[in-house]
A and B are shown apart, each in its own frame.
Chain A
Amino acid sequence: MPESSLVKDIHSNECGAAPSRQYSQSLPLHRSSYLLGTFCTEQNVQECLSHISQEVSSLGLPPAWKDSAGSSQLNVVAVLNCMYDLIQLHRKGLRTLENMEVEQLKLSSNVDYLQFTSTRLKEQLEISKRENTGLLERERQLQMKVKSLQNCLKNEKEEVQKLQNVIASRASQYNHEMKRKEREFNKLKERLNQLLIDKKEKKQAIDVLNSIGRADGKRSLWKTEKTEAKHEGEMYKTILSDYDTRQRELMLENAELRKVLQHMKKDIVSILGSKKLTTKGEKPDDGCLQADSEEEDEVFNSSMESVELSCVHVREKLTNSIRLQWRRLKSHVERLDSQASVAQMGENENSDAVTRETDKEEMDRLKLEIQQCKNFIQTQQQLLQQQLSSPCDEETASLLSNCYMLQEKDRLRDEWKTLEEQRKIFERERRNFTEAAIRLSCERKTFEEDRAMWLKHQFLKFSPFEESKKFQMSKSKSAFLISESQVGSGSTTDMLIRRPSDTTSPTHCVPLATTDLHCTPSTSSTKPKRNTEHEEGLMLCNGNSCNGHAPLQWNKSEDHSSHTQEINSSL
């Protein structure tokens, strides 16, 4: 029975299977020989025959035999042919199998080869990529270097330019100096030549009316060694006193700075001390604090003792301790900062709330203030508006118009009044002055005339022509007096009245006495000439007989007045 099941199995397998399956299955059939014997037995020959014929026909071979009923005789030729065909088929199959195996081997080797080449190429690609990036990097670096070198070059060029400018300016300065020195040299040469040529040499000389005393009243000392030593001593004294004052100032400054440092240190220590109590105390810090406080005590003591000595050690100790404290304070503040930032994240709302509350209070207060101010401004505006738009009657309107200026106007009016008064006073004074000046000039004139007459009189008294001249003198004198009186009374005042503008310069306006012998340096240059003319005129008058020339004198006096007029206008 197992054989039949086996047969059935094989049958079912073989019927449903593809030829390749059959081939693959035929291999184990071919190898395992035990199935060959077990397929056909005495009993199932017909079945086997039919089965085999089916198989053979399915393989495309001519049937081995005709399936005739009842004939159990096998066609040996057909069977042999069939067998031979089968064997050929098998051989063909084996051959194709071999070929295919070979092909497969070839292909697999190809595949291997290709894989190998691909990995090789990939590696090469990697390498070349790396090289590329390396080259790019190098190129970038070189470009940077090029840029920096270009910058350097630019800087160097600028510097060269600057140095060239400097050289140019120095050169122009040198040239200028050279020219200046050359000019001076030339001047020296000229001067030397001039001095060599010049016969008379003007010596130096001093001409003093009398020697004056020294400024400090003391007598001058001879130059001796003692005075020289004294001068040296004084010089060193000055220098030393200057150094002394400077040193004192520096000491004071030092002491103050040291005090400030000590105060700072105390403050820092106190701050740190109080903080240490609030935060968790760390043991090493405590230990340090202990040591520090000891040190501080030391420092305090020693510094207080040697405040004057400014010992180097004390100074160093102080500065070191301050540095230490400062560092500690800094670290503490940093810690606080970090704590604060952590606290800000979430938790500690209490402190935040507190600060927020105070902020809010502040804000509310400020807002209230602003509101109050705004209200105040509004009420003011309203009042102002009311004021401006209030209907007022004409009286008040006229009063109110320019009311802001009233006070100013009053003040200005008063000032104007006072100024007017002052001006009047000045005018009056000026008039008085001019009148006084005129009077003075008249008096001067008369005085001059008198003097001249007196001199003439004196001169003529001693002259040989006394007698003859006397008559003429008296005549001329009288004529002159007549003319004087006529001219004086009439025209002077006329002149004065007619030319009020000239009263400003009374000294020049005076009808000049022709014998004005005294010339002050302040008079103008035209006057002496006029005077001589007048003198000549008068002399002529004196030479001739005066009677006939009284009208001439009159004319002369008139001319005289016109001359003076001219003088006035020219002056």
Chain B
Amino acid sequence: MNFSEVFKQSNQLCKVSPDGKYLATCVQYRLVVRDMSTLQILQLYTCLDQISHMEWSSDSLYILCAMYKRGLIQVWSLEQPDWHCKIDEGSIGLVSSRWSPDGRHILNTTEFHLRITVWSLCTKAVSYIKYPKACQKGLDFSRDGCYMALAERRDCKDYISVFVCDDWHLLRHFETETQDLAGLEWSPNGCVLAVWDSCLEYKVLLYSLDGRLLSTFSAYEWSLGVKSVTWSPSSQFLAIGSYDEKVRILNHITWKKIAQFEHLGTINNTKAVVYKEVERKTAVCSDDLSLHNITIGSTLFNTQSKYEICPLPVQIPVVKPDPDRANPKIGVSFMAFSSDSHYLATRNDNMASVVWVWDMQKMSLEAVLEQTSTVRCVQWDPRRPRLALCTANSKLYLWSPAGCVSVQVPSEGGFQVLSLNWHCSGDSLILLGKEQLCLCYMDTDQEDK
């Protein structure tokens, strides 16, 4: 495993182009495009204000830079550095901005979610979509980029509009049976739309592409309901994580629950492997404490850590959330399937330093990773069943079915890994700190131990 040197970035804005060749980072008001293999700076663009959001177009030719405070969007071209495009939303303000799947339209959501403006870069035409809903996930594009589903709210009722992304033609518009729609997500095969209600009511609705209601799923009443929903990449399973610390798996044929995963405080009676991160402070002898060593080496304060396999039964540290506060820190908020749908990684919010990995073929717990501090970011390798996670210290943790390893990120002055992204080839990782970023190259021939 090799680590590159540390570069500057701001706002955690660092994205790899969809074709994997370029890396774009934002440093204050500048956009830096580097070549992925050599990390040489290829282009440098300057925007008018600090960049709040940056996104590659799907064909990796254009980059969108949004400055929400000024209500401006600037689009840069990689092929023609002289080309420029500036979209000013005016007094209506800007809250979010994104590309359309064809890479030629930009969708801007105005302040207070008054409307969505669709700007076309081909024709400079403008379209408006009224009454978009301000919720957890109100807009989703299907994976093949053909359709867009948008949640709307009119007259205290929830609707869903399905648009064809080609010409923004409204294909379907139907009312949903939700009290307060919180989010929607296309299945990876683009035929089913999963819609879920706010946490006050546990309700997941499944609509087919043409607007028919296929099925409703509700596990229980009254208690706080759905916290997160995710599809498996094969569209076979729909995983629903809820506030009662359980994950329910629905199958795509009958839309009924086929499995239920519980996150218990005590683990016993299972074939799963429990990895526990154990920290060990390096012993420093007195003659090492020269000034030179202290200034140059940050190894003085680095703690070595490694994984130990714990014998069952194991107690998981649980933090009880404050019962009086809204949106309590309890329940399954993070779920992710591996790219082959073989594993599901979950995190329960009141056991925030533990990551659970479930085997979807056996429908049972495969591994439990207990870290020393709160897990900040968990991502699956896009090619193989390998999980990378970080906990806001200077270490990177990797899990694969063969085992678990913790790697120290070498850097001077300490580098706290706050979030990470895999490169689309699965060969390298981008680690983001507060103001810095670092790349980690995996050994492609070496097996992770």
CA distance A202 to B253 in the complex (A): 53
Q: How far is the CB of A3 from chain B (nearest CB, A)?
A: 115
**Which of A205, A206, A250 has the largest count of B CB atoms less than 10 A from its CB?**
A206
A-facing mask of B226-256, CB < 8 A → 1, else 0? Answer: 0000000000000000000000000011000
Are B92 and A204 in touch, CB under 8 angstroms? yes
A228 is an interface residue with CB less than 8 A from chain B: yes
Are A215 and B104 in touch, CB under 8 angstroms? yes
In the complex, residue of chain B having the shortest beta-carbon distance to the beta carbon of A174: B200
A209 is an interface residue with CB less than 8 A from chain B: yes
In the complex, residue of chain B having the shortest beta-carbon distance to the beta carbon of A211: B122
Are B126 and A204 in touch, CB under 8 angstroms? yes
CA distance A228 to B168 in the complex (A): 11
B103 is an interface residue with CB less than 8 A from chain A: yes
Q: How far is the CB of A231 from chain B (nearest CB, A)?
A: 5
Are A208 and B222 in touch, CB under 8 angstroms? no
B91 is an interface residue with CB less than 8 A from chain A: yes
Instruction: Pick the interface stretch among A70-78, A165-173, A540-548.
Output: A165-173
Beta-carbon contacts under 8 Å, A242-275 to B:
242, 246, 250
Q: A195-B91, A209-B83, A212-B104 are in contact. Are A168 and B191 (CB under 8 A)?
A: no
A207 is an interface residue with CB less than 8 A from chain B: yes
Find chain B residues with CB under 8 A from A211 CB.
121-124
A370 is an interface residue with CB less than 8 A from chain B: no
Are A238 and B87 in touch, CB under 8 angstroms? no
Find chain B residues with CB under 8 A from A242 CB.
189, 191
Q: How far is the CB of B235 from chain A (nearest CB, A)?
A: 9
Find chain B residues with CB under 8 A from A207 CB.
84-88
Are A228 and B169 in touch, CB under 8 angstroms? yes
Are B210 and A208 in touch, CB under 8 angstroms? no
Find chain A residues with CB under 8 A from B191 CB.
238-239, 242
Find chain B residues with CB under 8 A from A210 CB.
83
Are A232 and B171 in touch, CB under 8 angstroms? yes
Find chain A residues with CB under 8 A from B252 CB.
246
Are B326 and A172 in touch, CB under 8 angstroms? yes
Q: A220-B123, A231-B171 are in contact. Are A169 and B323 (CB under 8 A)?
A: yes
B325 is an interface residue with CB less than 8 A from chain A: yes
B129 is an interface residue with CB less than 8 A from chain A: no
B-facing mask of A172-206, CB < 8 A → 1, else 0? Answer: 11111100000010011001000100100111111
Find chain B residues with CB under 8 A from A174 CB.
200
Find chain A residues with CB under 8 A from B119 CB.
206
B-facing mask of A383-423, CB < 8 A → 1, else 0? Answer: 00000000000000000000000000000000000000000
A-facing mask of B127-147, CB < 8 A → 1, else 0? Answer: 000000000000000000011
Q: How far is the CB of A2 from chain B (nearest CB, A)?
A: 113
Beta-carbon contacts under 8 Å, B41-98 to A:
58-59, 62, 77, 82-93
Are B104 and A205 in touch, CB under 8 angstroms? no
Are B253 and A206 in touch, CB under 8 angstroms? no
Are A235 and B104 in touch, CB under 8 angstroms? no
- A166 in complex: contacting residue of B89, B91, B102, B223, CB < 8 Å: B223
CA distance A1 to B117 in the complex (A): 164
- B200 in complex: contacting residue of A170, A201, A212, A235, CB < 8 Å: A170
B111 is an interface residue with CB less than 8 A from chain A: yes
Are A214 and B171 in touch, CB under 8 angstroms? no
A47 is an interface residue with CB less than 8 A from chain B: no
B328 is an interface residue with CB less than 8 A from chain A: yes
Find chain A residues with CB under 8 A from B199 CB.
173
Q: A173-B199, A198-B91, A239-B209 are in contact. Are A206 and B85 (CB under 8 A)?
A: yes
Beta-carbon contacts under 8 Å, A90-143 to B:
none
B4 is an interface residue with CB less than 8 A from chain A: no
Q: A166-B223, A169-B323, A206-B124 are in contact. Are A235 and B82 (CB under 8 A)?
A: no
Beta-carbon contacts under 8 Å, B144-203 to A:
146-147, 164, 166-167, 169, 171, 189-191, 199-200
Q: How far is the CB of A543 from chain B (nearest CB, A)?
A: 41
Q: How far is the CB of B63 from chain A (nearest CB, A)?
A: 13
CA distance A129 to B117 in the complex (A): 93
A31 is an interface residue with CB less than 8 A from chain B: no
Q: A166-B222, A169-B224, A208-B121 are in contact. Are A191 and B88 (CB under 8 A)?
A: no
Find chain A residues with CB under 8 A from B89 CB.
204
Q: A173-B224, A214-B104, A242-B191 are in contact. Are A205 and B323 (CB under 8 A)?
A: no
Q: A172-B325, A191-B111, A207-B85 are in contact. Are A215 and B200 (CB under 8 A)?
A: no
CA distance A168 to B323 in the complex (A): 8
A-facing mask of B244-281, CB < 8 A → 1, else 0? Answer: 00000000110000000000000000000000000000
Are A205 and B85 in touch, CB under 8 angstroms? no
Q: How far is the CB of A140 from chain B (nearest CB, A)?
A: 38
A300 is an interface residue with CB less than 8 A from chain B: no
Beta-carbon contacts under 8 Å, B302-332 to A:
323-328
A236 is an interface residue with CB less than 8 A from chain B: yes
Q: How far is the CB of A181 from chain B (nearest CB, A)?
A: 10
Beta-carbon contacts under 8 Å, A8-38 to B:
none
Are B169 and A204 in touch, CB under 8 angstroms? no
Are B167 and A209 in touch, CB under 8 angstroms? no
Find chain A residues with CB under 8 A from B84 CB.
207-209
A-facing mask of B19-57, CB < 8 A → 1, else 0? Answer: 000000000000000000000000000000000000000
Are B253 and A246 in touch, CB under 8 angstroms? yes
Find chain A residues with CB under 8 A from B209 CB.
235, 238-239
Find chain A residues with CB under 8 A from B124 CB.
206, 208, 211
Q: A208-B85, A231-B171 are in contact. Are A215 and B59 (CB under 8 A)?
A: yes
Find chain A residues with CB under 8 A from B91 CB.
195, 198, 201-202
A490 is an interface residue with CB less than 8 A from chain B: no
Find chain A residues with CB under 8 A from B87 CB.
204-207
Are A168 and B222 in touch, CB under 8 angstroms? no
In the complex, residue of chain A having the shortest beta-carbon distance to the beta carbon of B167: A223
In the complex, residue of chain A having the shortest beta-carbon distance to the beta carbon of B58: A215
Are B253 and A168 in touch, CB under 8 angstroms? no
CA distance A353 to B407 in the complex (A): 62
B341 is an interface residue with CB less than 8 A from chain A: no
Find chain B residues with CB under 8 A from A176 CB.
325-327
A163 is an interface residue with CB less than 8 A from chain B: yes
Find chain B residues with CB under 8 A from A228 CB.
169
Find chain A residues with CB under 8 A from B169 CB.
223, 227-228, 231
Find chain B residues with CB under 8 A from A188 CB.
112
In the complex, residue of chain B having the shortest beta-carbon distance to the beta carbon of A245: B189
A-facing mask of B385-419, CB < 8 A → 1, else 0? Answer: 00000000000000000000000000000000000
Beta-carbon contacts under 8 Å, A325-353 to B:
none
B208 is an interface residue with CB less than 8 A from chain A: yes
- B122 in complex: contacting residue of A166, A187, A191, A212, CB < 8 Å: A212
In the complex, residue of chain B having the shortest beta-carbon distance to the beta carbon of A210: B83
Q: How far is the CB of B246 from chain A (nearest CB, A)?
A: 16
Q: How far is the CB of A350 from chain B (nearest CB, A)?
A: 43
Beta-carbon contacts under 8 Å, A482-498 to B:
none
- B327 in complex: contacting residue of A170, A173, A198, A238, CB < 8 Å: A173
Find chain A residues with CB under 8 A from B253 CB.
246, 250
Q: How far is the CB of B172 from chain A (nearest CB, A)?
A: 8
Are B327 and A235 in touch, CB under 8 angstroms? no
Ordered by A's residue number, 19 sampled pairs between the chains whose C-beta atoms are within 8 Å are A165-B323, A168-B323, A168-B324, A170-B200, A176-B325, A177-B326, A184-B112, A204-B89, A205-B87, A207-B86, A207-B88, A212-B83, A212-B121, A238-B146, A239-B191, A239-B209, A239-B210, A246-B253, A250-B253
Give the A-binding residues of B (Cβ under 8 A): 58-59, 62, 77, 82-93, 102-104, 111-112, 117, 119, 121-124, 126, 146-147, 164, 166-167, 169, 171, 189-191, 199-200, 208-210, 222-224, 252-253, 323-328
Closest 5 CB pairs of A and B: A176-B326, A202-B90, A242-B191, A204-B90, A208-B85
Known: A212-B62, A212-B83. 20 other contacts (CB 8 A): A163-B222, A166-B224, A172-B324, A188-B112, A203-B90, A205-B90, A206-B85, A207-B86, A208-B124, A209-B84, A210-B83, A211-B121, A211-B124, A215-B102, A221-B167, A231-B166, A235-B209, A238-B146, A239-B209, A246-B253
